[in-house]
Amino acid sequence: MSSINAATATNISHSVFGHLPNGDQVQIYTLRSAAVEMQLAGFGARVVSLTTRGRQGKVANIVLGYSTLEEYVRDNKTFFGVIAGRFANRIANGRFTLDGVGRQVTLNDGPNSLHGGTEGFDRRNWAAEEIPSGVEFTLISPDGDQGFPGRLTASVRYTLHDNVVRIEYGATTDKPTVLNLTNHTYFNLAGEGQGTIVDEVLTIDADRYTPVNTTLIPTGELAPVAGTPFDFTQPEVIGARINDDNEQLKLGRGYDHNWVLRGGGTGQLHPAAQVYDPVSGRVLRVETTEPGMQFYSGNFLDGSFTGRSGARYEQRAGFCLETQHFPDSPNQSSFPSTELRPGQNFRSVTTWTFTTRG
């Protein structure tokens, strides 16, 4: 099935991607514009592929992932392309207190909870519906899901307008809860399977970041990036300082930290990051309404996963720019709140804009 939105010339088609072990059918949608082709699957509401042109017009898929649903089902470590939740990133010891009540959520990252726990939103088959220029995925997370309170109804809308992908998140709850949603796509602007991302050039619109402890939980400090390997206020090659003798880099095996974005707290779209690949000429610009962004340089990829091109994903085969609230926010009162209460409507927007330059 397919349709075309005349105003934006976005073609939308969908088919069956496969079936989960329980027999549930998973849909895959393809969005096409003159500049971008993107595939989205209901399992994890994830980005499966994203194809753009380089400076010479050469077309390539620039995100990491697999060709089959079965491969995604087997992989419960990388979070390729998913919507992470109910709480993206880490919660220390999987514990927090809300309205005086202690909560314990499932642990899946050493002593901590990561991206919602053992069965986070990445492991769910979201309902899908075609909308103008895109797809809306919805998911109902029951009260007590992975230990989180409240029946949560979440939605993610992906739309494509020429060279811009827009991701709109929404959620409501019937009990007080905590929420942090992000997209966990791994990019390689040279092309999926085309080596590492260490030579790509990154800019982050942030003067501070949140240092972490030995289990990658923020210490609570908002540290200046100036004079450190975390300073991307001016364009810098990702690999230039990634192996510096820096305790924070050693803890994350590279970059796996949250940056405090300059425009955070306004509720309006503001610059987050830009990445440029000198070889292909591709440029990715990220804007968001979120206060933070996790830059992850693919440090824990180790060659044990083979992507759709047949290439093994070695360390730093891709990078993530996860727009978000800060990690461990439920335990850090000085961080922007991640609480969501009945009657409130959570809303967040992130855009990816793809261009080229010489």
d(C-alpha 142, C-alpha 328), whole Å:
22
Domains with residue ranges and CATH for the chain: 2-185+339-353 (2.70.98.10), 201-337 (2.70.98.10)
Q: What is the pLDDT of residues 34-83, one digit of tens each?
A: 999 999 999 999 999 999 999 999 999 999 999 999 999 999 999 999 99
d(C-alpha 205, C-alpha 198), whole Å:
19
d(C-alpha 102, C-alpha 108), whole Å:
19
* Active-site residue identified among 115, 184, 257, 325: 184
If you ran DSSP here, which 8-state letter would residue 247 be given?
A: H
Beta strands, E only, 245-319: 256-261, 270-276, 282-288, 292-296
Establish whether 322 is a catalytic residue. Answer: yes
Q: What is the pLDDT of residues 138-151, one digit of tens each?
A: 999 999 999 999 99
d(C-alpha 179, C-alpha 46), whole Å:
18
d(C-alpha 148, C-alpha 88), whole Å:
13
Tell me what pLDDT residue 8 has: 54
Cβ(202)–Cβ(236) under 8 Å?
A: yes
Which pair of structure tokens corresponds to residue 218? 């923020």
Q: Per-residue b/e over 50-86, b at no fewer than 16 CB within 10 Å?
A: bbbbbbeeeebbbbbbbeebebbbeeeebbbbbbbbb
Instruction: Kindly report the pTM of this predicted structure.
Output: 0.96
Which pair of structure tokens corresponds to residue 93? 């010891």
Tell me what pLDDT residue 276 has: 98
Cβ(225)–Cβ(207) under 8 Å?
A: yes
Q: What is the pLDDT of residues 226-268, one digit of tens each?
A: 999 999 999 999 999 999 999 999 999 999 999 999 998 888 9
d(C-alpha 342, C-alpha 340), whole Å:
7
d(C-alpha 273, C-alpha 337), whole Å:
23
* Active-site residue identified among 192, 257, 322, 325: 322
